[in-house]
Structures are given as structure tokens and as C-alpha cells.
Chains A and B, each alone.
Chain A
Amino acid sequence: MNRAARMGRYLGRRALLAVPTLLLVAVFVFGLIRMLPGDPAQIMLGDVADPTSLAAMRHYLGLDRPLPLQFLTWLGHAAKADLGRSIATGEPVATLILERFAVTASIVLSAVFIATLLAVVGGLLAAWRQSRPIDALIVGLASLGLATPSFWLGLMLLLIFGVHLRWLPVVGYVPLRESFAVGLSYLVLPVATLVIVESGTLIRTLRAGAIEVLGREYIMHARAKGVPERQVLYRHVLPNAFAPTLTLVGLTLGHLLGGAAVIETVFNLPGLGRLIVDSVLARDYPVVQGCLLFTATVYVAVNLVTDLLYPLFDPRVTAT
């Protein structure tokens, strides 16, 4: 059977497998969020509530129907891509999610891309020159990066570049499609923070993998045969060392796309992470449910891509 057909079957099977995963997530989320004490009616009414107005608000929000019914209704709509409306603001959840995700994605994708580049360059260099000063420097910087709390770093960068030096803006967000230059200036600090914090792990993982590969026999053979060092690195070491790093990139990407809540809070970006945090704290059930279903889907998609790419780097492993 040719590769295309096999790939097709594989994709089909994975897509099918995604359904139970997503269903599981839907049930987890629904159950967990409603297990939390407090409900949106109470929060909205605050300390000015009384039993009658609470009951009226709950009825208005549809919260007094039996739980399984609420779940099935929601699920039924979700299957038709109707995620309902936010309890707090009345906006359609699907539009809300897509808007917020665009913000998060622009930051996360840029940051992970840059961090991966840094990982490749830094990790290879460090492994190649293992135990030399350059290795120590790279590992030192990487360790510093991953040891730094992201929100602390974000606040410090904000203080320096936003308030004291006034090079970059501090509040708000302008989408790139509205104005590229201005939009970019709002992204610099959050992306920088994320890069510093995330690249540390990636560099170290790649380095570890590269060191391991560099110790293998076929590398020594290649060198003995006179293959130029750069080719050794790029054609032999990198592809083999990259595999575990790829997994990590996939994990990081999936996890961050679910929302870099802390970064978004510090830089006041209307992103998905903050939406999840805010709506959990506000018990905005439809938004929480919709967001998690969405992030689960993104996660599954990212994992699928990672698994597909894996054999490229480690041909001994077949994707199926």
C-alpha cells in the first residue's frame, strides 16, 4: 500500500480517536466547573442578592434545569459549532474564543518559533563544544531563563521598557491586521518574556539529545570518513537529536496555546488564557466549557502534527 493511502488511513483513525478524547474533556469540564461552589448568579448580584432575585437570575440563566439536561443541550449545540453565549457578557462564545485565540496564537506561535530556533542553534553549539566555556555560557543562560518566574520577568521588563525607558507601550492591544508596526510593538515584550522563559528547557533538551547522539558510533564513523563537521551536525546529529525536543515543542505549544494566562494578565492582553482564568473565577460556565473544548481540540491537533513529524526525525519509528 502506498504511503499516501497509509497516511490517509492514519489521519482518519487519529481523527476518530480524537472524538472520545474530546468527549472526555467535555464531561470533565462540565462536571468540574459545576462542582465548584458558587455560581454566576451569585457573583453577578454580589452582596445585593436575596433569595428571590437569585432564583430569578438562575432561571434567567437556565441554571435551574437538571444537570444532565444542561450537559446534553450544550453538547448538542456544540456539535453544531454553537457554543452558546457568555453568562457575563451575552456574547457568542465561539466568536469570543476565536478573537481571544488570535491574540494568544500570535504571541505563542512567534515565541515558540523563536525559542525553537534558539534551541537548535544554542543546543547544537553547546553539545558540539561540550564542557567548553561556550557550553557553560549557553547552559547557564538557559538555566537562568527557565528558572525565572515568567510574571516576575514580565513585570520587570514592563517596568524597564514600558515605564522607565518608554520604548514600548504598556496598555492595550492592537491587532496586527489593523496596524502592523503598532501591533508589533505591543507584542515585543510578551513574546520576549515567553522566549526567555521557554527557550531554556528547549535548549537543554536539545543539547542533551545532541550530546547523546554525538556519542554514537555512526558519528565517529562519519567523522572518520572525513565528512565536514557542519554536515555531521546538520545532517546527522540534528535530525536524530531533535525528536525528543520536538515532543517538548509540541507540548509547549499545545500548553501555551491553551492560554498563557500569566503573561496575558501581566501585559493586559485579551488572550485565551486570561479568558479561561476570568471565566472560571466568574463561574461563566458556557465560556469555560467552550474554551476547554476548543483548547482540547487544538491540543489534539498539535499532538497529531507532532506525531506525524516524529518519523521524519527518527525513521526507525513509524507513525502507525
Chain B
Amino acid sequence: MPGWSKTGFPVQSLLGFVLVGLLLLTVGVAQFWTPYGPLAIDLNAPLAPPSWRHWFGTDEFGRDVLSRAMAGARISVGIGCATVSCAITAGALLGTLAGFLRGWTDRVLMTINDALLAFPGMLLALGFIAVFAGGEGAIVLALSVAYLPSVVRVVRSVVLSIREREYVEASRVMGNSSAYSMLRHVVPNALPQVAVLATNLFGWVVLSESALSFLGVGIPAPAPSWGNMLAAARPYLASAAWLTIAPGACVMATLLGVNWLSDTLLERLRPGSRS
């Protein structure tokens, strides 16, 4: 079968593992060492194209792009993970409650949910940054609040469809409590969908962070994040393309790796799926 390597995994899964592994390695290494300081300027070598000295070239202040991309990996991935964790945890909880219990719980939760959904992430981000004096925490908070409602909605709809299945009914008829039925049947069946949602969400968050930086309300410079590097590279799109390509490629590689990996996991997790 085309695309299958000797180990029996399709190429995509392998690539997924490789990319994610590379990413984690970079994040780990960047904690202790980068080729140059991410904030170290060099006014003698601004906008230098990629070379042996600077693998990804330098930016308008002579700062090494590779070092900044590595440091940025930590920040962007960190924000992505933190936001996804918060949003998924809180959202799954609320969504399951709403979907399973229905009735007034559902209605109240959905009302608040809808109110939150209508909020543009940008306004939230700006608000939190201004109030909590900037930085990653504020962005994580803002994006978690911005994406929480989406998670709640999706989890709720999954729970709604699973809830009606025969074995759940059967479980209740047999006298099991709602909570037990929920945990035993609904949650495991919802997991694959939630896992897909989580990886989608990670992608959205990393992209949102870059969008927020593009609009001027993301991670405050000069600390590098892929998002604000992309934003700062905009004026140099034609003249210094490496400034855009590097962080753009990092974002794409990260998201591709995570998505391919999650596809693999999805196929493994899915009970009775075709292979």
C-alpha cells in the first residue's frame, strides 16, 4: 500500500511524530541555549539574508532570526498548550453538564455561553492586557475565554448525540446513576471528537495569537513570538522574505505535525474504525 513505511505507520504519522518531536526538542533546548541572544542587536548586520553565521538571517535590528524563532517556539507553543488545557478542561466540563443534564442548567449555561461567544478575542485580549499589565498570562486568559464557548458548544452537541444511544439508555434502565452512565459511556465516546477539537483548537490558538500580534495586541515585543515576528516582518515581505518565511514555516510545521499526530491518535482511539 503506498505511503506505508516498514514500521506499519503511514508516512503522515511518521512525519507528525518527527515534527512534534523536533518542536518539543526545540522548546526544551531554547530554555537553556540559543545560537545568539533573542534580544541581542547588531547594528552592523541588519536584514542579513540567511548565511552560515545566521541560518535564518537577521531582522531589522540585526537580531538572529533562528534564535528568535526558537525562543518564540517556547512562547507560542506555551500559549497554545496553556490555552487549550484551560479551554478544553473548562469547556468539556460545562459542555458535558449542559448536554447531559439539559433543562435549566443547559439553558442558563448556553445563555452565558452565547454572550461570551459574541466577544471578539481582540477586545478581550486588549482588555486583559491592559488590566493585568501585559504578557503571556493575559493572552492565555483572553484566548481561553474566547474559545471556551466554542468548546462548550461542540462538546455539548457530541454529548447530545451520544446520550441518546441505546447503550446509554440501557445503562440508565439498568439503574445506573446519571453520573455513572455519563462517565462510563458518554465520556469515552466523546473523547475522539474532543481530541480532534483539541488539536483544531491548538491550531486556532496559535493562529489567533499571530492574528492578535498582527493587529497589534498580541505578545508585546521585543519578546519574540511567532505571531509578533510575522507581524514585524510584514513591511519586509518583498525585501527580506526570510523574515516572513521563518516564523510562517514554524507555525505551519507545528500545526501540520500536531494535526498528523492527532490523526494517528484518532485512528488508534476510535473503537471499531476501519484501518
* A281 vs B273: C-alpha distance when bound (angstroms): 50
Which residue from A131, A143, A208, A261 sits with its C-beta under 8 Å from B256? A143
Q: Do B252 and A244 touch (CB < 8 A)?
A: no
A144 to B117 alpha-carbon distance, docked (Å): 27
Once the chains bind, are A24 and B112 in contact (CB under 8 Å)?
A: yes
Residue contact B238 to A25, C-beta cutoff 8 Å: no
CB distance from A285 to the nearest CB of B (A): 12
Mask of A140-155 contacts with B, CB within 8 angstroms, 1/0: 1001101111111001
- Knowing A159-B238, A303-B114 are in contact, say whether A243-B161 is a contact too (CB < 8 A): yes
**B153 interfacial contact with A, CB 8 Å:** yes
The answer to whether the Cβ of A119 comes within 8 Å of any Cβ in the partner chain is: no
**Number of residues of chain B lying within 8 A (CB) of chain A:** 62
A299 at the interface (CB under 8 A from B): yes
Whole-angstrom CA separation of A33 from B127 in the bound complex: 7
Is B215's CB within 8 Å of the partner chain A? yes
Q: How far is the CB of B239 from the nearest CB of chain A, in Å? A: 12
Evaluate contact between B118 and A292: CB separation under 8 angstroms. yes
Q: Which stretch (A61-69, A176-184, A310-318) binds chain B?
A: A310-318
Query: Which of A52-60, A91-99, A185-193, A211-219 faces chain B?
Result: A211-219
Please indicate the chain A residues that have their CB under 8 angstroms from the CB of B150 in the complex. Answer: 251, 255
B196 at the interface (CB under 8 A from A): yes
For the complex, give the distance between the alpha carbons of A280 and B121 in Å.
12
Within 8 A of A (CB), among B75-102: none
Q: Is the interface of B mostly helix, strand, loop or mixed?
A: helix
Task: Report the minimum CB–CB distance from B133 to chain A (whole Å).
Answer: 11
CA gap between A302 and B273 in the complex, in Å: 33
Q: How far is the CA of A255 from the CA of B121 in the complex (A)?
A: 10
B225 in the interface, Cβ–Cβ < 8 Å?
no
- Residues in A with CB closer than 8 Å to B263 are 139
A-B contact count (CB 8 A): 174
The smallest C-beta distance from A78 to any residue of chain B, in angstroms, reads 15
**Any chain A CB within 8 A of the CB of B130?**
yes
Known A24-B112, A310-B157; contact A143-B214, beta-carbon cutoff 8 A: no
Inter-chain contacts of B164 with A (CB < 8 A): 316-317
Q: B12 contacts the other chain (Cβ, under 8 Å)? A: yes
Q: Which residues of A contact B192 (CB under 8 A)?
A: 208, 212
Which of B12, B160, B273 is in CB contact (< 8 Å) with A211? B273
A17 within 8 A of B: yes
Is A122 an interface position by the 8 A CB rule?
A: no
29 residue pairs from A and B, CB less than 8 Å apart? A17-B110, A21-B111, A24-B112, A24-B115, A28-B115, A28-B119, A29-B123, A143-B259, A147-B251, A147-B254, A147-B259, A148-B248, A148-B252, A149-B230, A152-B244, A152-B248, A155-B244, A159-B238, A204-B259, A208-B266, A211-B270, A212-B270, A215-B273, A244-B161, A247-B154, A261-B120, A276-B123, A277-B215, A316-B161
